[in-house]
Chain A
Amino acid sequence: MLDKNGIAKRIAKEIKNGYYVNLGIGIPTLVANYIPAGIEVVLQSENGLLGMGPFPYEGEEDPDLINAGKQTVTYLKGSAVFDSAMSFGMIRAQKIDLTILGAMEVSEYGDIANWKIPGKMVKGMGGAMDLVASAKNIIVAMQQVNKAGESKLLPKCTLPITGLRCVKKIVTELGVYDIHHEGGFILRERAPGVTIEQIQNATAGTLIIPGEVPEMVID
């Protein structure tokens, strides 16, 4: 079974040289720490920054330079800033090669819910609805079961929807899944030490097992 960093590490393997990538808040942010040597990517932060660098050294924080999580960050060589309309313009126009998001639920059709729990959490969707409506390549990073032990890979989302039929791939602590275009989670890889039975028990939606499923290789 993977921890959060393991999930991030596995997703980092999906990143190709030259990609422009948008990372959501939570596990997706960790992916930046595991981009393989020799792979160059440009991180987009939807508050208006391309070429997001690491956190500043203490004493060098600039209140005018933050990421979409409101954290202080730095520029890299070749960074650019722009306004919020252009930022979502490049997202809508599909200039971003890969979007990595967290989720509360994903359906077997690739629907995603990650912005609201009625009566409980009312923080808002931020840029998530714009991202999922336009991104050509969305990977979801999430825990497969919630704190109550219930599966978050469902036949149909129960929480308010963020976007329909948009998720392509999901990486959880148990495995890697692709979404089948007619519905279903195609199991591509098992996390180290995880059995098919464990995965079946943690998947409420249709699980498709295409023959022998290899164990994930990370590191």
Chain B
Amino acid sequence: MINKVVKNADEAIHDIHDGAVLMLGGFGLCGIPENLIAALLRKGVKNLTCISNNAGVDDFGIGLLLKTRQVKKMISSYVGENDEFERQLLSGELDVELIPQGTLATRCMMAGYGIPFFPTPAGVGTEVALGKQIVHHKGKDYLIEEAFEADFALVKAWKGDTAGNLIYRSTARNFNPLMAMAGKITIAEVEILVEAGELDPDQIHTPGIYVHRIFQGEKYEKRIEQRTVRKRL
């Protein structure tokens, strides 16, 4: 039987090289591949292009890779939570491409669906449209956006099995299943790894065909970015 299990995060990223294009799942700090980011820090690979909705915070998530100057370019939709990011951006040390969030999600999804480009109204009439083809359809303008090409997709799921099937939990799903479909090599870290056959096929979000390597993360901090609570009456 196919077995995609690797020992740990370091083994999973052994062939990620300087200059690689990476996708990293997560929304804010929710559902990010914590163990894989830690392994990238240890490996010290440089000049990375990171496709990720956000850029972490100063001392967690992708923010850690920014601090060590391992990132050359970020492709994101919103980066407001990170002072170091803003500093590197304004000083010109970091290249940044900001794109609409729905466009970012769909560019991942289309890579996994084998569709090279698609029309979207998001960004028409804005600087996002600069240099892009515009098509007119039934009275409305659309930008042509391309599917992403990424060397590696690093995603985080709740449960996975040895065949690479993945199940996400709550809003930690976000970009993870889309990026899982989109990497030339997809690496999944999971909180709970089980034998093939133990997950209900009806409940699987990402079929194992998209996943090349899987491992159970050593530990999960799951840091909360904005802890908001209400008082008990």
Contacts and interface: CB of A to CB of B under 8 A. Distances in A.
A77 B138 CA distance: 39
Interface string A135-171: 0000000000000000000000000111110000000
Contacts of A45: 171
Given A48-B173, A83-B177, A122 B96 contact: yes
Interface residues of A, number: 50
A124 B75 CA distance: 11
Contacts of A125: 77-78, 98-101, 128
Contact of A126 (B77, B90, B127, B222): B77
A47 B27 contact: yes
A129 B228 contact: no
Interface stretch (B15-23, B42-50, B104-112): B104-112
Contacts of B103: 129-130
Interface stretch (A8-16, A67-75, A173-181, A185-193): A67-75
Contact of A85 (B77, B108, B228): B108
Interface stretch (A34-42, A56-64, A97-105, A207-215): A56-64
B30 A47 contact: yes
Nearest to B96: A122
- Give the residue among B103, B169, B171, B175 with the most A Cβ atoms within 10 A: B171
B121 to A, nearest CB: 4
A88 B98 contact: no
B172 interface: yes
Interface in B156-192: 158, 169-178
Contacts of A47: 27-28, 30, 171, 174
B35 interface: no
Contacts of B28: 47, 66, 70
B102 A88 contact: yes
Interface residues of B, number: 59
B229 A129 contact: no
Given A66-B30, A81-B173, A88-B102, A57 B76 contact: no
B89 to A, nearest CB: 6
B228 A92 contact: no
Interface string A109-136: 0010000000000111111111001100
Contacts of A126: 77-78, 101
Contacts of B169: 64
A55 B174 CA distance: 20
B230 interface: yes
B226 A71 contact: yes
A124 B79 contact: yes
A124 B79 CA distance: 6
Interface of A is mostly: loop
A84 interface: yes
Contacts of A130: 100-103, 120, 122
B179 to A, nearest CB: 10
A88 B224 contact: no
B53 interface: yes
A91 interface: yes
Interface in B64-99: 76-81, 86, 89-90, 96, 98-99
A118 to B, nearest CB: 10
B122 A133 contact: yes
Interface centre among B122, B125, B172, B178 (most CB of A within 10 A): B122
Given A163-B124, A163-B126, 10 more contacts: A47-B171, A55-B229, A63-B29, A65-B170, A66-B27, A70-B27, A71-B228, A84-B175, A126-B78, A129-B100
Interface of B: 27-31, 53, 76-81, 86, 89-90, 96, 98-106, 108-109, 120-128, 158, 169-178, 205, 222-232
17 contacts: A46-B101, A56-B229, A56-B230, A63-B223, A69-B226, A82-B173, A83-B178, A84-B178, A91-B102, A125-B78, A125-B98, A125-B101, A126-B77, A126-B78, A126-B101, A161-B127, A162-B126
